[in-house]
Amino acid sequence: MAETRGWLEEAVAASLGVLDKRLLAHGSAIVNTLQQLAGAAGIAIMFSIMGATSEGYIHTGEAIGPAIAEGTQQAYLVGCLFVLVSLVAALFLPRRTIPGGVPLPTAESKRC
């Protein structure tokens, strides 16, 4: 979790930075809810892919152990595809600046 803290803070700050102060609590609640839903959906998708692929291998006569290994590999490949799509999408996030043209502080600049 420590590895994701830096970029996750920036993504949350960027999404909440456009809200009025009176809406920050609502925005934070929505972001937290979406994080929980996305995590649950990701787990469900990964296990569904693993189960479906493993079942297909078992029906073709493969032993259970190798079938589960193939299903797990397929699930990880799909997970990696989701990560790559997310990284490409992150490249298109707008970079906000303060009206004077100075970039907003980032999480790394706060640590120094």
Which two structure tokens, joined as six digits, stand for 95? 């970079």
Rg of the Cα trace of the chain? 20
Write down the pLDDT at residue 6.
61
pTM reported for the whole predicted model: 0.67
Predicted pLDDT of residue 16: 80
Give the pLDDT score at 47. 96
| pLDDT values of the chain reduced to their tens digit, one per residue, 112 residues | 455 556 677 777 777 877 788 888 898 899 889 989 999 999 999 999 999 999 999 999 999 999 999 999 999 999 999 999 988 988 887 766 555 555 555 555 555 5
What is d(CA 51, CA 45) in angstroms, rounded to the nearest whole number?
A: 10
